[in-house]
Structure 1
Amino acid sequence: MVLENVGTRADLERRTQLIQGALRFPLPLAEGALPVSGSIGTSLFPEDGASAGELLRHADVAMYRQKQQPA
């Protein structure tokens, strides 16, 4: 997911928390509910990279760090 018009790292953190909050709710299905989870890695232009490739690599590393943290 690419977010536009993110001003600061604090803004990015707030948006990330909103997305993570939405993932806390299970998806209702006819057979019951399906739990949903996700790991999010972020990067911010230009601090974390000047190109799309650099930003994606930085976000990928951040996502794997997030996955390694206990829930």
Structure 2
Amino acid sequence: MKENLEFNVAAMKNLVKKDRYLSFIKNDLSIRNLNENEEYILLILFNSNVLDNSSYEAAYKVELENQSN
């Protein structure tokens, strides 16, 4: 059974800081969507890049664990 990941702003920010591709996409989306706040942009990244990508899901889980420590 597949685990459902919950969106967490702090975990997503940390993942974006560590990943050049996600950082590039976040910057691009931010420039193209000036009226949207950072949390909304991060949610878009989470839904479109992290979910259903086993590598990003694993990295995101590490960031979630780091948030709880």
TM-score scaled by structure 2?
A: 0.30
Q: Which has the higher contact order (CA 8 A, sep 6+)?
A: 2
Q: Structure 1 or 2: larger helix share?
A: 2
Q: Structure 1 or 2: larger strand share?
A: 1
